[in-house]
Structure 1
């Protein structure tokens, strides 16, 4: 059985110890260090092993229990009841189909719809004049009461005139745009990691500073005009990004590219 080293837990501001311990134990369960029906170490053992308090251990185990990975049996200990899925479905659908699936499989809460000046970076990517107004929609998507992702979308005013809170409760944003005659073409995506700020932490029900995936997607129409800028935040514990790259696109940007944002010293 693997024995983690206490040094695996970082003791720095913004790195919650109970979330780190949760992830270590979850990964051990996934690797088979603790099989289904087996005991995980007792509170005292985990406290000593990771040099943390009982409260930290209890919060970590509670998170495992919330995911259905372990169960507490009074007087006996905490047992593994399930293993995180090892086999995951392969991507077999296109963007529009995946957007439709996402809309069907989640419930939407419309948090904001407004017409406002687009932020400078958004305006630039949508090819709008500085200070130009656009339609702004913020939504929360949940599955069975569990928040899955927060979407923050901007649409040029001329194509977003029918984007209202009422309409967004009935259908997805891409469906409203398609009803306006938009035919989607090129898509540019950027995936980064960020720490949850107070607003996102509250909406997604994660700890302040918890790691989140941020996906920024710029959609164009068939005439190569940008028609939607959307930023999506979600936790990697509940959602993931699937990609399928055909052989003919392996040596193109379609395969994705890692870009390092480091300022190099002058030569």
Structure 2
């Protein structure tokens, strides 16, 4: 279909329903593409962009609306939900601290520690062209797995973060208590993503299951961007909201 600029992102022969593919792709564009900021394109425009039927677009938007990613207003259009608009906060908290604050006794496990070339988005955020230190941690309680955090540090900080340190302290604690960095601000965005094989195994879900993704890019005084992190949890595990001042607030961990 002419002007179907996003059709290549869809696998029409794959096992994942088309509307889910469209919904996840739209979620990834929110806050990044100028056409998906405060308000989404119309259903007719989305049909052209993805080369799919209006029924598929409506199913995709309904899927996102059920998860508060978007808000559909009759006669006005589809808008980005408040929870998923980019926010900025001046303090940061670890997932471990949020869980502990809700009365849980989480256990943290170091799942991966390696130097690796970062994805393009991470490299751009950290302003690096070389390898970064990648750390993945898993969190669980007596009830089962709670979430996974993935953190990228610029290479200049890698020698300071030993495997022992990464296994015993959260990245927030490392920045705040070990490096003694002062946080200038952290940019927060919330969206949906698919579970990678490693993350799916820890969370005990099927590959490509829908996950809630909370991304944080932390800027430290005198250091620039010092951390790129993302928290991955199953839908319904955690509820968050971004306050009027941009601060991410925990509503609860279920």
TM-score range, shorter chain: 0.5 to 0.7
Change (3 A) 1:135 1:208: closer
Map of 2:213 onto structure 1:
214
Instruction: Map 1:224-243; keep pairs closer than 5 Å.
Output: 225-243=224-242
Map of 1:133 onto structure 2:
131
- Runs (4+) off by over 3 Å: 12-15, 93-100, 102-105
Give the one of 161, 164, 168 matched to 2:162: 164
8 Å contact kept, 1:106–1:142: yes
Instruction: Map 1:36-75; keep pairs closer than 5 Å.
Output: none
TM-score normalised per structure 2: 0.54
Could you tell me how far apart the structure 1 residues matched to 2:94 and 2:247 are? 18
Which of the pair has the greater relative contact order for Cα pairs under 8 Å at 6+ separation? 2
Structure with more of its chain in strand, by fraction: 2
Query: How many angstroms does 1:94 deviate by?
Result: 7.8
8 Å contact kept, 1:103–1:172: no
- Unpaired runs of 5+ residues, structure 2, are 1-13, 18-88, 249-254
Deviation readout 1:139-185 (Å, 9 max, x if unpaired): 11112251111111101122342322211222211212221131112
User: SS where residue 165 of structure 2 aligns?
Assistant: helix
Map of 1:102 onto structure 2:
98
Change (3 A) 1:210 1:116: closer
Map of 1:148 onto structure 2:
146
**Aligned residues between the structures:** 159
Query: How many angstroms does 1:224 deviate by?
Result: 6.7
8 Å contact kept, 1:159–1:180: no
User: SS where residue 208 of structure 1 aligns?
Assistant: coil
Instruction: Note the aligned Cα RMSD (angstroms).
Output: 2.8
User: SS where residue 161 of structure 1 aligns?
Assistant: helix
Query: How many angstroms does 1:187 deviate by?
Result: 1.0
- Unpaired runs of 5+ residues, structure 1, are 1-11, 16-92, 257-267
Could you tell me how far apart the structure 1 residues matched to 2:214 and 2:223 are? 21
Deviation readout 1:55-99 (Å, 9 max, x if unpaired): xxxxxxxxxxxxxxxxxxxxxxxxxxxxxxxxxxxxxx9843555
Query: How many angstroms does 1:194 deviate by?
Result: 2.2
Change (3 A) 1:241 1:185: same
8 Å contact kept, 1:163–1:173: no
